[in-house]
Amino acid sequence: MIRTEYGTFDGNKWERVCQLCFKNNFREEAYQEIKATPGDFGIEGFTRTGKAFQCYCPDEHYNSHLLYENHRDKITKDLKKLKTYEKQLKKILGETKINKWYFVTPTYAKNEIVQHCTLKKEEVKSWNLSIIDNNNFEVLFENIDFLHPYLNTAIENAKIKIDISPGNEIETVEKFKWKDSAISLIEKAQTKNGYRLNQKSSKFEEKLDKLVDINVSDYLDGNNILFKWKEDYPIDYETFLNITSVIESEIEERCISSSKEPSELYQEFRGILKDQLHNSFSNLAPQMILKLTNWALADWIFRCPINFE
């Protein structure tokens, strides 16, 4: 995720926004998008006037030196593809020859990247490729401002919903370590989940252990998601905490006053939270809402809000 004054971008959102801007900004020059299948040829679109575009968004925030190296290596790699895939690109470009190759990324840190583009320009020209206009060829580095005047419209129309991954799958060893450090919470989860099951069942203990394991996984995965969400979308994160706090109070009251069975109450709590998150966050993917719901339910099981006694 990269944060800019215009919002936060990942690779997919950045590419989508860039394509929408290219299609509007260069409509009169007959802009043509190139899909990434069957292969990535080093450009993601071109105009019949000879402009070629490669958009790129780093996966994470880097300091100025690492950002420069990241951009430098990406430009070098993508320009080399012009040579590697010259024949394939010739079929796509037809009579068009590339005179300007644009590398478009959200932000940059060092002017040295412009110097690198100048060096790479001379290298590409030395290849004498049939798809390059050697007399006028330039390698140009552009940031998010290049996408104006349609940038805000493109961001609005991109409509890519947020789905933050928890990262690497939680290892079994990590779960055991957390259980050992949170014995009182595990005991609460065992007691509360026990009320949700038929205690006369021959597989009661096995099912109980499974439910607790699910709680642990949902809680640890959710913590990782919330950490990233807080960094990239702090306002949404605070709104989420406020929503769960309000619902938490309602859940405590229902646990005291309701005559419903624990399993039925639990599913009722799930529905209340999912509906509230869905209504409050139109920018969240369904799977993200599910992950946040599972985290909150696990948190309420480990603490006091959900109490079936």
- Condensed to tens digits (0 to 9), the pLDDT of residues 9-55 reads 889 899 999 999 999 999 999 999 998 766 679 999 999 999 999 99
Give the separation between CA 68 and CA 111, rounded to whole angstroms.
9
Give the separation between CA 83 and CA 106, rounded to whole angstroms.
26
Give me the pLDDT at residue 46, please: 97
Give me the pLDDT at residue 233, please: 82
Give me the pLDDT at residue 4, please: 83
- For 145, half-sphere exposure in the C-beta direction (CA atoms, 13 angstrom radius) is 3
List, as own/partner pairs, every contact residues 5-9 make where C-beta atoms lie below 8 angstroms and the sequence separation is at least 24, other chains included: 6/144, 6/151, 6/152, 6/155, 7/155, 8/232, 8/233, 9/57, 9/106
152 contacts: CB under 8 Å, gap ≥ 6: 6
Give me the pLDDT at residue 39, please: 64
Give me the pLDDT at residue 202, please: 86
Which residues of the chain register pLDDT less than 70?
A: 37-39, 167-168
Give me the pLDDT at residue 273, please: 96
Beta partners for residue 162, in sequence order:
284
Give the separation between CA 189 and CA 175, rounded to whole angstroms.
14
Give me the pLDDT at residue 79, please: 97
Give me the pLDDT at residue 108, please: 85
Give me the pLDDT at residue 173, please: 78
Eight-state DSSP code of residue 33: E
Give me the pLDDT at residue 231, please: 81
Give me the pLDDT at residue 37, please: 67
Give me the pLDDT at residue 280, please: 95
